[in-house]
Amino acid sequence: MALQHRSGALSNVSLEQRALNIRIKAVRMGEVQGQGYIGQALGVADVLAASYFHALTYRPDDPEWEGRDRFLLSIGHYAIALYAALMEAGILPEEELETYGMDDSRIPMSGMASYTPGMEITGGSLGHGLGIAVGMAMGLKRKNNPAFVYNLMSDGELGEGSTWEAVMSAVQWKLDNLVAIVDFNNQQADGPTRDALAVGAEAPKWEAFGWHAEEVDGNDMAALVAALDAARSLSEPKPRVIICNTTMCKGVDFLEAREITHFMRVEPDEWSKALAILEKANPQ
């Protein structure tokens, strides 16, 4: 049985290439339906590559293996991005890409645990993922299971009261097996995140609650790897958060330039243009 180690991938494929592959798969899925949260998928691809091909322990052919690290997608509308990562990791067959969002597909447009291998929770209303992660981390500790729980969440969820209840609970229970990852792309449906409730430097807020917090460029692979390593190796009995400042639509310049990228209209011919740009890219 193949085991994915934290030290890297099953082959010598670079993390940068993994991220590019995730972007390409996400665009291919978006083209199937002619829609999807592709801006978020392109922006968070580096985070997913660093997580699945550096930080996480799992078995691709046994997604429910008890010893696995749990990776929770709190933001269900990012499912297109996670599906791409699960396909790249060998947990989902790549041929299912063509069924994205279709009836009876295992990869619906919003992430649902009952449908998709490797999807740990059902996303939807924002602000619930971290609370579920707290419960999972507590359960693992009580079973003396050394696995970690990672919770990918959005900057918009920082405006949800339930998030901060979970933040306090994680500190109360000294959950040093919990790592929150915030995709801070500064975009919400109603406009920039910083015009809503998540204002100012985020790391000091989490630190004030008792978390180990680090803020990084979420599209800088070396910075992501270092932050994930630090989160895993920290000896203090406290939960950890990595705030990742990402660029929406990263890697596709004509989409990056758009003012509205949260759920944007992509014209039929633009999917192939985006795919051509990515396929010509040379990861560093």
pLDDT band at 195 (very low <50, low <70, confident <90, very high): low
Q: State the average pLDDT over residues 21-28.
A: 96
Tell me how many domains the chain contains.
1
- Domain membership of residue 121 (yes or no) is yes
- Domain membership of residue 36 (yes or no) is yes
Q: Which amino acid belongs to residue 259?
A: E
Q: State the average pLDDT over residues 60-68.
A: 96
Say if residue 16's pLDDT is above 80: yes
- Domain membership of residue 2 (yes or no) is no
- Domain membership of residue 233 (yes or no) is yes
Q: Which domain holds residue 87?
A: 15-280
- Domain membership of residue 4 (yes or no) is no
Which position has the higher pLDDT, 168 or 8?
168
Say if residue 19's pLDDT is above 70: yes
Say if residue 169's pLDDT is above 70: yes
- Domain membership of residue 6 (yes or no) is no
* CATH code of the domain covering residue 229: 3.40.50.970
Least confident among 61-75, 154-168, 236-250, 258-272: 258-272
- Domain membership of residue 9 (yes or no) is no
pLDDT at position 29 is 92
- Domain membership of residue 7 (yes or no) is no
Give the span between the Cα atoms of 26 and 232, in whole angstroms.
28
pLDDT band at 188 (very low <50, low <70, confident <90, very high): low
